[in-house]
Amino acid sequence: MSYKEVIKDIKLKQTGNLYLFYGEETYLLEETIKLMKQHILESDFESLNLSVIEGKDFSVNKLIDACETLPFMSDKKIVIVKGSEAFHGKKKVMSETEEKRLIKYISDMPEFTCLIFCEGVTVDARRKLIKEVKKNGKIIRFDKLNERELGKWIVKTIKKQKKVVKEKELANLISQFDYFGKNSEQCMLDVKNEISKLTSYMGEVVDVKQEHINAIITPRFENDIFKLLDAIATKNLEESIKRLAYMLKEGEPVMKLMFMLSKQVKNILIVKELLDEGYSSKLIASKAKIHPFVVSKHMAQCRFFSSSKLRKLLSYSVKMDSSIKSGKLTERLAIELLVVEMCK
């Protein structure tokens, strides 16, 4: 089921009482939940008829207690479970007995409860729990918009700010984003934030011009950074140097690249240490305030580094930065030496 169908159901007051939301486009997911709250709950009593269970606090008992509590001064209530990981195949977050209990419960829930499970980018369709949700409720995957959909949404968002963007400027604006990058972590919220900066910068001017875009929107290059880090993680020096040379040829400043590499090494270290402490990917993302997609990338990359190696690389990065500022090394040589050291 697509998110458009869900929104249509909400507006027609035809919401069900069981949903599983997941997918890359977290902004759309959150906006759909916001719309459900507006249409299902009485605004004066929203806090009394809304229960949110975070993944770390999730248990079948808590879920059932929340769902069975009668709504206050309202016909319906909403229970949201965020990041339970109950729909993923790798890690057991509940016993088989508890899972069977949950499966039985969601097949016969109170009509006054709307239960929404919000998971990550993917779910394991083989899980019995997912099959039960599909049988008794609705499963919605929030994919990223296509280029036409994103363009229409950008035009609408800019119009709300009493601005106008024409076709040529719209195409240029979209090209500045990394929304469609293969490994991009950018979502509609990031695009919206960039648009807010753009319209604020324009002041009283109505028409979006290329000079406005050039002045405010910074092209994203995280995609290239991740490809470089993947090559470094597998100790592929030749590929790493090629990736670095390409980014430098594209005009990326050396100091910006140095900063991003150091930042990603630091994040890999954080992810590795939290992973060693037994944290799940969801909890790592929440605790470290790192996007779930980036966490998944770093979880794969951290297998190739020890914690001591990562700390040495952070120190080496500081050393290279100091060598550039003191004039001992050129910027180009310093970053090449950093990449070589990372590949060892």
Q: What is the pLDDT of residues 209-245, one digit of tens each?
A: 989 987 877 655 566 787 788 888 888 998 889 888 8
* Residues 89 and 110 occupy one common structural domain: yes
What is the CATH classification number for the domain harbouring 313? 1.20.272.10
* Residues 248 and 301 occupy one common structural domain: yes
Residue-wise burial string across 138-160, b where 16 or more C-beta atoms lie within 10 A, e elsewhere: bbbbbebbeeeebbebbeebbee
CA 165/CA 300 separation, integer angstroms: 41
Give the per-residue pLDDT at 286: 82
Last residue of a domain, one of 122, 141, 160: 141
User: What's the mean pLDDT when you consider all of the chain?
Assistant: 89
* Residues 118 and 23 occupy one common structural domain: yes
Count of domains for the chain: 3
* Residues 233 and 200 occupy one common structural domain: no
* Residues 128 and 160 occupy one common structural domain: no
Give residues with Cβ within 8 angstroms of 146, minimum separation 6: none
Domain around 10: 3-141
Under 8 Å between Cβ of 146 and 182: no
Give the per-residue pLDDT at 220: 53
* Residues 12 and 136 occupy one common structural domain: yes
Q: What is the pTM of this model?
A: 0.65
Q: Convert the pLDDT of each residue in 78-129 to its tens digit.
A: 999 998 888 886 667 788 899 999 999 999 999 999 999 999 888 988 889 9
Last residue of a domain, one of 196, 216, 236: 216
Q: Convert the pLDDT of each residue in 295-304 to its tens digit.
A: 888 888 888 9
Give the per-residue pLDDT at 133: 95
CA 86/CA 103 separation, integer angstroms: 11
Q: Convert the pLDDT of each residue in 142-193 to its tens digit.
A: 999 998 999 999 999 999 999 999 998 998 888 778 787 655 677 899 899 9
Average pLDDT over residues 331-338: 92
Q: Convert the pLDDT of each residue in 273-326 to its tens digit.
A: 998 888 888 888 888 888 776 788 888 888 898 999 999 999 999 999 899 999
What is the CATH classification number for the domain harbouring 98? 3.40.50.300
Last residue of a domain, one of 141, 169, 187: 141
